[in-house]
Structure formats: C-alpha cells, structure tokens
C-alpha cells in the first residue's frame, strides 16, 4: 500500500496571501460598507451629541468671533434630522459631486472605445516599437490604457504576452510588464483620464467637511501624475529585463499553441480610421488653443487667467470634463465611420449606452456613498475626527512628510482587501482630507498621496477584480501558474513602486514643483 505524501508546506508569502484572500472574501460589498457606515454614524452622533469638546470648530472663526466655538456633534437620529434625511435623499444622491463628472466623461470614452479608436491607437504604438524598447513601450501603453477605463486589463495585458512571445522572449515577462503598467501604475498617466475628475470630486466632498467653498480641480495632480509615468516606466523596465525575465529562463512554456492568443495586424480600414481620428483630435486641440490664447477669450476668468476654477473662475477650467467628452467622442465617431465599425448614428448611441451599462454598479455604490458622506459631514463626526487626528499628529511631533507617508501606507494596506479606488477614497477622504487640512496640508496633496498608495498594491492582491483574469492569461503559456506564482512575480514591482514613488512624491514636494493646476501643498 503506497504511503500518502504529506502536503507541501506553504511559504510565508503564500500563507500571507491566503490570509488576505480569506479576510477580503469575508468583507461585505463596498456598498454595504457604506450602509454600515451610515448606521454607525447615526448611533455615534446620538451618543456624542451631548458631549462637550475642547476642539475649536475652524468654520466658526469669523472677524466677529475670532476665537471660534467648540465643535458640537449633531444628533442625526433626532426626528427633525431623520425627516430632513428622507426629504433630501434624492437630492443628496443627484448632487453628489463625482456623479455627473464621471458619467459625462465616460460617454465620450465609451464612443471612442466602442468604435475601436482607443484599441487601434494602442496597437499602433506597439507595432512601431523596436525590440529593444518593447518593455518600456508596453508599460507606457499600459499607463495610457487608463484613459479607456478597464480596456488595459482585457487588451494590453494579454497583448504583452503575445508581443514578447513573438519577439522570442518569455511571454510571462510581457504579461507581468503590462500588468505593472496597467495596475501598478494606475495613477501615473501622461494624459488626462476619467480617474482624475472622479477622485477630485470625492476629495472636494472630503474638503467640504471643513471648507464647503474648496473645490478640487480635476487637473490638481496632473503635473505630478504625468511626471510619475516616467518613473513607473523606468522602474518597470529595469525590473522586467533585469529581475523578472532572468528568473523566468528556467520556466518552460508548455501551453497549448491553439489557446495562445494571436496578434491581429491592423487592417487598412482601422489604420485609415485611426489617422482620421488623430487628425480630428489635433484639429480640436488647435481650435481650443486658438480660442483660449486670445487675451479677450470667453474661456478666461474676469481677471484674464486660465487656471482658476469655481464660480468666478475661468470657464476653461470648469469645462475640463466636457472637453474630455468632446476629445473622445468626435475622434471616436470619425474613426468608427471610416473604419467601418460604425454603420449609422445608432452605433454611436450604442457606444454611449454600453459605457453607461458598465456604470450600473458604480451608481449603486454612489447612492450609498452619497448618503453616508452627507450624514457623516452633517453630524460633525468627520470634522471632530479630523481635529482629533490633527491634534494627535501634532502631539507626537509627526512632520507633514511623515503624515503623508502614513496615508500612503494606509491606502496601500486597505487596497489589499478593498479593490475599488473610488470606494476606498470615498471611505478615507472624509477623514484624511480634513485631518490634513487641520495641520496645514492641502486636499490636493492628500489626494496625491492616496493615489500613490492605492496604485502600488493593486498587482499583489487577489481581491483586485482582474487578478484572476491575469492568472488565466499566464496559464495559456505556463499551465502551472497560480495566484502565488503571479504574486511572486509582481512583488518586486509592488515594493519598488511603493518605496520609489513615495520618495519621488516627497522629493517633488521638497523641490516645490507644482502638483497640478490650482493645487498648492499648503492649506489654506
């Protein structure tokens, strides 16, 4: 009788990953987390409404009352508060700052994606790339793919394996490099994408806990995130070619050739549509520049500036999201009809409808996020927590830099169990944004720190929705690939991005480079 072999002992990394997966699977859906947060807010506000606090509410400091008054928690379970909650619920949802911004931007992106304009552009970039520059170009294309929502996961990552395999390199190295660009560099992008206005909207809501007049520009982090793309490409290039690929030399490609995806060349019609779409985008850019550069332009504020948003700011800054819509919908339409992917105007509407169809879960999430954040703000719990947190940071002598690094670490850790960038920020922003405002750090800087932490651990957590899909892509080439295999390959990227990107933000800050448009490091 043959003895049964004892199961192989799991490594520390595998046990850690199993724990992360087990804890993550037990967490409620993010929408339910917001509902739980609403209930906790109600009961805490009831309990703390009669407590006297010594912290001064900065919103009560006026020329008539220079010392301000102590902060008070409002009882959100009182009958008048509950009546107001029910009466304003619909308006709270529809007025939630990120909602309209995201939907309008994605209408345009949806047309461009449905027409094939974005996919054609990504394939064209990779097709003209020399073999020596294949790795950095693949990572850069991964960064650019953020413009088309989740297209990078289903297009660029499998394409990375195809390109490396066709070039005689290990296909898993190509998948890993693409995954690092698409997910690990999630907030690094040289062009504006839908994530920018989405996070800015949530940050604006968080800032409203202490300052209802503070509006975060959608391009508040643009200079930092655009320059970060250089860092991500260089670090990813070095790790892929010098660490990952040498490690894979002994790993046999044993997948079924029939299951391996093939690189489809761009058709003449696609090429024609792409050129026409890019030309359309160029014409739009030239027209916008001509209009904006006129000293008397209607796109300027009353003082002649172009970079100030808000009610009295430049219409150009307030039109960023509609411009994103136009710069995608018009080139997408041109590409669609010239390439043959669009036959009539109904295809254009179908592209918009398809984009909106993908937002159904987001709408559910936003409903619960909106009513939770509204109650959290009105109860003054957010302001109280921010002031208490700021006092704690000051009592331990934590510097501004240490505080920002702490936020990055918290965001990276929370990202291991909650995958959605917007859901995490909707939970964290009402706490960290006003807390950091209380110690003199701007909402724009806080948002930049969050974006660094949120990106770096995407590539090592099984809770990221597309992580299992990437495992499947790898199994087409190496059948034995599992979650542990992929995580071990991605871990050098995650650690390097976290350390070096954090250091880059601190250096960027110390040198005083602008974060983006209408973005200071200090508050107020």
Q: Cβ(168)–Cβ(436) under 8 Å? A: no
Please, is 375 exposed, middle or buried when counting C-beta atoms within 10 Å of its C-beta (0-12, 13-18, 19+)?
A: buried
Instruction: Give the model's pLDDT for residue 260.
Output: 61
Q: Which two tokens stand for residue 87?
A: 């009466």
Single out the residue of 223, 218, 228, 224 nearest to residue 194, CA to CA.
218
Residue 509 structure tokens: 């800050």
What are the structural domain ranges in the chain?
28-41+74-510
Higher pLDDT, 150 or 510: 510
For tokens 């007025």, the residue is 95
- The string of DSSP letters for 277-307 reads HHHHHHHHHHHHHHHHHSTT-TTS-TTS-SS
Residue-wise pLDDT for 12-41, tens only, equals 655 665 565 466 556 677 678 789 889 999
- Residue range 197-215: mean pLDDT, rounded: 88
What Å distances lie between residue 389 and 66, 431, 443, 469, CA to CA? Answer: 23, 9, 15, 40
* Per-residue H/E/C for 229-260: HHHHHHHHHHHHHHHHHHHHHHCCCCCCHHHC
Which residues, 6 or more positions from 5, have their beta carbon under 8 angstroms from its beta carbon? none
User: Best-predicted range by mean pLDDT among 189-203, 337-351, 421-435?
Assistant: 337-351
Label residue 35 exposed, middle or buried (CB < 10 Å: 0-12, 13-18, 19+): middle
Residue 75 pLDDT greater than 90, yes or no: yes
Task: Report the pLDDT value the prediction gives residue 309, as an integer from 0 to 100.
Answer: 62
Beta bridge partners of 57: 69
The SS3 of residue 342 is: coil
pLDDT bin (cut points 50, 70, 90) of residue 523 is very high
Structure tokens at 55: 């912290």
| Residue with the larger pLDDT of the pair 166 and 458 | 458
Tokens representing 241 are 């070619």
pLDDT > 60? residue 481? yes
Report how far apart, in Å, the C-alpha atoms of 437 and of each of 109, 354, 404, 432, 472 are: 34, 39, 12, 8, 44
Q: What is the pLDDT of residues 107-150, one digit of tens each?
A: 887 888 789 887 788 678 777 878 788 899 999 988 987 765 56
DSSP summary character for residue 28: P
């Amino acid at each position: 009788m043959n003895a049964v072999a004892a199961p192989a002992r799991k490594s520390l990394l595998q046990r850690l990953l199993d724990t992360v997966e087990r804890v993550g699977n037990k967490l409620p859906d993010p929408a339910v987390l917001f509902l739980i947060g609403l209930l906790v807010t109600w009961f805490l506000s009831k309990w703390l409404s009669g407590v006297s606090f010594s912290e001064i509410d900065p919103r009560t400091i006026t020329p008539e009352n220079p010392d301000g008054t102590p902060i008070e928690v409002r009882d959100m379970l009182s009958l008048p508060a509950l009546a107001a909650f029910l009466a304003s619920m619909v308006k709270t949802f529809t007025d939630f700052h990120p909602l309209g911004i995201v939907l309008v931007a994605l209408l345009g992106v949806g047309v461009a994606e449905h027409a094939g304009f974005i996919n054609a552009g990504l394939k064209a970039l990779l097709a003209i790339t020399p073999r020596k520059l294949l790795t950095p170009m693949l990572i850069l294309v991964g960064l650019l793919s953020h413009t088309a929502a989740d297209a990078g996961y289903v297009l660029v990552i499998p394409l990375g394996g195809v390109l490396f395999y066709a070039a005689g390199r290990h296909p898993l190295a190509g998948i890993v490099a693409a995954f690092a660009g698409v997910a690990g560099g999630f907030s690094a992008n040289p062009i504006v994408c839908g994530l920018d206005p989405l996070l800015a909207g949530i940050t604006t809501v968080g800032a409203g806990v202490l300052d209802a007049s503070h509006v975060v520009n959608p391009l508040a982090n643009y200079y930092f995130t655009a320059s970060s793309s250089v860092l991500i490409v260089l670090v990813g290039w070095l790790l892929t070619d010098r660490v990952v690929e040498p490690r894979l030399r002994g790993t046999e490609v044993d997948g079924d050739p029939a299951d391996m995806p093939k690189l489809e060349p761009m058709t003449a019609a696609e090429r024609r549509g792409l050129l026409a779409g890019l030309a359309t985008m160029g014409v739009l850019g030239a027209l916008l520049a001509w209009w904006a550069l006129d000293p008397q332009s209607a796109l300027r504020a009353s003082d002649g500036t172009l970079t100030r948003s808000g009610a009295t700011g430049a219409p150009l800054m307030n039109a960023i999201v509609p411009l994103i819509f136009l710069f995608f919908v018009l080139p997408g339409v041109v590409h669609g009809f010239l390439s043959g992917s669009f036959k009539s105007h109904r295809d254009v509407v179908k592209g918009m409808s398809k984009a909106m169809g993908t937002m159904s879960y987001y709408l559910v999430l936003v409903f619960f996020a909106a009513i939770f954040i509204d109650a959290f703000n009105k109860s003054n719990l957010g302001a109280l927590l921010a002031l208490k947190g700021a006092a704690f940071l000051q009592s331990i002598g934590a510097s501004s830099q240490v505080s920002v690094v702490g936020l990055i670490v918290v965001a990276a850790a929370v990202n291991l169990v909650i995958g959605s960038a917007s859901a995490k920020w909707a939970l964290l922003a009402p706490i960290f944004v006003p807390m950091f405002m209380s110690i003199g750090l701007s909402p724009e800087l806080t948002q930049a720190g969050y974006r660094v932490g949120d990106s770096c651990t995407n590539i090592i957590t099984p809770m990221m929705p597309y992580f299992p899909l990437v495992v499947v892509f790898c199994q087409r080439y190496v059948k034995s690939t599992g979650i542990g295999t992929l995580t071990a390959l991605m871990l050098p990227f995650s650690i390097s991005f976290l350390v070096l990107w954090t250091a880059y933000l601190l250096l960027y800050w110390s040198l005083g480079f602008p974060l983006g448009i209408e973005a200071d490091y200090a508050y107020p």
